[in-house]
Copies of this chain bind each other. A is one copy, B any other.
Amino acid sequence: MESALSSTVIGTEPDLDDAGLHAALRRDAAAIEATLDRLLPVPDAAERRVWEAMRYAVLNGGKRLRGFLVLRVAALFGAAPAAALRVAAAVEMLHAYSLVHDDLPAMDDDDLRRGKPSCHRAFDEATAILAGDALQTRAFEILAEPATSEDARLRCALVLALARASGAAGMVGGQMADMEGEGRRLSEAEVLHMQALKTGRLLQFSAEAGAILGDADAAQQGAIRVFGRELGAAFQVADDLLDMLATTEELGKSAGKDEAAGKATLVALLGVPEATRRAQGLAVAARQALDMFGPSADVLRALTHYVVSRRN
């Protein structure tokens, strides 16, 4: 794993084109997948079913955008790749838990996830609830383990930042706000608040985590937080555009769901052309936040371009 990563050390890709970014994404996703596999061993015990469901939910061949952000920001600050892979895996577990619970019948009631049965369809509702619960726990456990960093101060900072990004003041709060807004016409400010919490905060954490792990200084951490915030906002608008414009086959999950559910999106509020302009503007702001890092941040710039131009 480490050698796969070190062959794409940041700084050796000064003018990363689309093909180069996709190759980097694929290599990192494979390394993250291997790390997840290693961090989720199935015990020979009565509770093995919940571990199987956790593995099913997270070992799904995803793009690993959040994990990629962790790895590439961590590399920017010289953090050890093996430690960064653990943090990337923890973020992907946290993300997977949120998807498992969002797909439940009482929530979005979605039978499909990445073209496969969602966790509660492949297993059952009770197992899916427990698997989501335990994926969240495992994420915090991995961050707190000494293998993540010799420095307990950094491990604690990671736990705290992930908790703030993912709890009721972050991702879960955003999901609640989203549900509360269904069937109502939200204002632009309300949509931005909801989306910043629901998807923005975890994407921002992914970038921030790399800077924490690399023990970046305050100015650097501040710049990375702005980058993460703008990138997260750009990602969400792009995602809403995709949901409206793409087909279910392209997405590997049900398309057009937001509109069907009467969900509030910036696209519904502003229309496709203006939402597209917004996404581009947010991407520009994200790239500007990287100015202090020079060419070593080219892979993050390429990622920003990709986030607003992807087709799935």
Q: Is A125 an interface residue (CB 8 A)?
A: yes
For residue A134, which residue of chain B has the nearest CB?
B168
Q: Is A172 an interface residue (CB 8 A)?
A: yes
Contact with B along A91-113 (1 / 0, CB 8 A): 00000010001001011000000
CB-defined contacts of A180 to chain B, threshold 8 Å: 46-47, 49
How far, in whole Å, are A169 and B46 apart by their CA atoms in the complex?
11
CB-defined contacts of A43 to chain B, threshold 8 Å: 169
CB-defined contacts of A175 to chain B, threshold 8 Å: 130
CB-defined contacts of A45 to chain B, threshold 8 Å: 173, 177, 193
CB-defined contacts of A125 to chain B, threshold 8 Å: 106
Q: Please determine whether B140 and A159 come into contact, CB atoms closer than 8 angstroms.
A: yes
Q: Please determine whether B133 and A136 come into contact, CB atoms closer than 8 angstroms.
A: yes
Q: Is A51 an interface residue (CB 8 A)?
A: yes
Q: Please determine whether B152 and A137 come into contact, CB atoms closer than 8 angstroms.
A: no
Using known A-B contacts A45-B177, A190-B46, determine if residue A141 contacts B156 with beta carbons closer than 8 Å: no
Q: Is A11 an interface residue (CB 8 A)?
A: no
Contact with B along A156-170 (1 / 0, CB 8 A): 100110011011110
Which of B47, B136, B152, B194 meets A197, CB within 8 Å? Answer: B47
CB-defined contacts of A2 to chain B, threshold 8 Å: none
Task: Looking at the assembled complex, report how far the CB atom of A156 sits from the nearest CB atom of chain B, in whole angstroms.
Answer: 4
Chain copies in complex: 2
Q: Is A127 an interface residue (CB 8 A)?
A: yes
Q: Please determine whether B126 and A107 come into contact, CB atoms closer than 8 angstroms.
A: yes
CB-defined contacts of A174 to chain B, threshold 8 Å: 47
CB-defined contacts of A136 to chain B, threshold 8 Å: 133, 136-137
Q: Is A181 an interface residue (CB 8 A)?
A: yes
Using known A-B contacts A138-B167, A144-B159, A164-B141, determine if residue A126 contacts B179 with beta carbons closer than 8 Å: yes
**Would you mind naming 23 contact pairs between A and B with Cβ atoms under 8 Å apart?**
A46-B177, A46-B190, A47-B173, A50-B172, A50-B173, A51-B168, A101-B129, A104-B126, A107-B129, A129-B129, A130-B175, A133-B133, A133-B136, A137-B163, A137-B167, A137-B168, A138-B163, A140-B163, A141-B160, A141-B164, A143-B159, A152-B152, A159-B159
Q: A47-B180, A141-B160 are in contact. List 4 more A-B contacts (CB 8 A).
A: A50-B168, A134-B168, A137-B163, A144-B159
